[in-house]
Amino acid sequence: MGKIKVGILGSTGSVGQRYVNALRDHPWFEVVALSASEASVGKKYKEAAKWVLDKEMPEGMAEMEIVRATPSEIKGSGAEVVFSALPSEVARRTEMEMAKAGLFVVADTSAHRMDPDVPLLIPEVNFEHLAAVETQRKKHGGFIVTGPNCTTIGLAISLKPIQIKFGIRRVLVSTMQALSGAGFFGVPSMAILDNIIPYIKNEEEKVASELLKILGSFKEGCFENANIKVGASCHRVCVLDGHTEAVFLETEKGASPDEVAKCMSDFTSEPQRLRLPSAPERPIIVRNEPDRPQPRLDRLSGTPERAKGMATVVGRVRKEAALDNGIKYVLLSHNTIRGAAGNAILIAECLKAKGII
């Protein structure tokens, strides 16, 4: 059987480049359309993209001509699946137009994350929410599945096994977020060198609302939020890639740090059972050294090779005496791989493995 043809919207940006890199030799998907803004349309990808990854730009894609982000141009290329890394203000209209044209959209953008019939998906965490696409398919012909904000994703992965085993009452998180999370032109160097910026617009609200949808249930055609209290404080730091988060939580049942660490490192889910190409063998890697995880050392964690950057790395799991049944730990998650393109590709692999596309 031939590969599924895919297009990438926003292919020249921080996240778009991660797609181009990860899809260069994908066993199931073939890139047939690369799209970007009007300023890039008609240029070769190698002229339009300011390539920042250390692996060379894939030769085949370097020569491809950038097309417009319209359903007719994307469908004209033969693509059935569209990965969207558009700015969110453009994404709302464009992604819906693509779904209404019968395309299957997997989006990293925030535009449709909280829509009542759109799954907000991390395949290891809430695989069953995929059922919601059938309602959309009846309405539009195509559908949209979204991945969470890059800050929510590692947090949700680390919390899922704790939620299953011990229950969770309350979560507080303080983040140290990488520069690539703001896009290529996001934070001027004069603002961030020798500095920390203690504000990221709308980020704290997104972490709280998205986490509750992801850790909640999908019953009788409706999403129901998890009953957990969530508070977040988000900060931009001078790190290139990889969001670090200090997490504090109250479990329902008492649990020792060793029990929490064990349930995280034992955690596997549907993508591992299905042996999907981009699924990390261990979604959570727990490190015992007192000074890990660190972005430079740990952001590309995950095996096999295709899953590098897909594992959430957790360290310093310990008791928090200031909370009831309190536990605290530090996590690291690669924001443009697991936090965006890698998670979206894993979603598309799920859609294929389950026969939805």
Radius of gyration of the chain (CA): 19
Under rule CB under 6 A, which residues in 74-93 are in contact with ligand NAP?
85-88, 90-91
Which one, 126 or 336, has the nearer CB to ligand NAP? Answer: 336
Position among 4, 6, 7, 16 found at the interface with ligand NAP (CB under 6 A): 16
Nearest to 68 by CA among 23, 37, 32: 37
Q: How far apart are CA 119 and CA 159, in angstroms?
A: 19
- Would you say 13 or 216 has its CB closer to ligand NAP? 13
175 lines the binding site for ligand NAP (CB under 6 A): no
At closest approach, how far in Å is the CB of 146 from ligand NAP? 10
Q: Is 40 in the site for ligand NAP (CB under 6 A)?
A: yes
Is residue 209 within the footprint of ligand NAP (CB under 6 A)? Answer: no
Cβ contacts of residue 150 below 8 Å, gap of 6+?
Answer: 177, 181, 243, 333, 335, 336, 339, 340
Residue nearest to ligand NAP (CB): 13
Name, in order, each residue with C-beta under 8 angstroms of 316's C-beta and a sequence gap of 6 or more.
Answer: 290, 328, 329, 330
Binding segment toward ligand NAP, per CB under 6 A, in 11-19, 131-139, 188-196, 222-230? 11-19
315 φ, ψ (degrees, to nearest 5): -145, 175
184 binds ligand NAP per the rule CB under 6 A = yes
Q: Does the footprint of ligand NAP cover residue 242 (CB under 6 A)?
A: no
- The reply on whether position 343 binds ligand NAP by CB under 6 A is no
Q: Does residue 339 bind ligand NAP (CB under 6 A)? A: yes
Geometric angle at alpha carbon 299, from 206 and 216, rounded to 5°: 35
Nearer to ligand NAP, 162 or 307 (CB): 307
Both tokens assigned to 41: 């349309």
238 annotated active-site: no
Residues 23, 61: Cα–Cα separation, whole Å: 10
CA gap 119, 355 in Å, rounded: 17
In the complex, the smallest distance separating the C-beta of residue 339 from ligand NAP, rounded to whole angstroms, is 5
User: Which residue out of 243, 263, 334, 350 is catalytically annotated?
Assistant: 243
Annotate 117-169 with DSSP letters as a single string.
TS-B--HHHHGGGGGGHHHHHHHHSSEEEE---HHHHHHHHHHHHHHHHH-EE
Q: Does 200 bind ligand NAP (CB under 6 A)?
A: no
Active site residue 150: yes
- Positions in the binding site for ligand NAP (CB under 6 A): 10-16, 36-37, 39-40, 48, 69, 85-88, 90-91, 108-110, 150, 180-181, 183-184, 335-336, 339-340
| Residues that are catalytic | 150, 243
